[in-house]
Amino acid sequence: MKSILHNKNDRTCFLCMLLYDDDSYKQVLEEHHVFFGRALRKLSEKFGLKVYLCIPHHRLSKEAVHQNAQVSGMVQAYAQRTFEKKFPEKNFREIFGKNYIMDEIEENQEESEPVAGFTPISDGVEGMDW
């Protein structure tokens, strides 16, 4: 299914926009399934939970979704919110088995820092859906 999060034809990087308000044209973009690894990747495909990323933001920088669990979690929370708006009759948590919206889980939001300040998690790479 077509992405419900991001228009492929815009030729923008989802994270460049989210993190830097940079909506410039990107020559090279890669498709990223927001929920990845085995079953989740299929669900991402089924519901259009995909974004388009420049290569650094996909896998080759400290802010890459496949290297930085904070960045990945941010995109996942966004995807969950969008899913819940788009499919109000469906139960995201039942389908995906988890709630990704952190501020609903943790009450203490004061310690949250800007994403750019986080150190990457070295084992954040999962599966081979690059």
Residues that bind Zn ion (CB under 5 A): 13, 15-16, 32, 54, 57
Measure CA 120 to chain center.
15
Q: Min. distance of Cβ 130 from Zn ion in angstroms? A: 5
Q: Min. distance of Cβ 79 from Zn ion in angstroms? A: 13
Which residue in the shown chain puts its C-beta closest to Zn ion? 13
Q: Which is nearer to Zn ion, 91 or 116 (CB)?
A: 116
Q: Which is nearer to Zn ion, 12 or 82 (CB)?
A: 12
Q: Which is nearer to Zn ion, 6 or 32 (CB)?
A: 32
Q: Min. distance of Cβ 28 from Zn ion in angstroms? A: 10
Q: Which is nearer to Zn ion, 54 or 71 (CB)?
A: 54
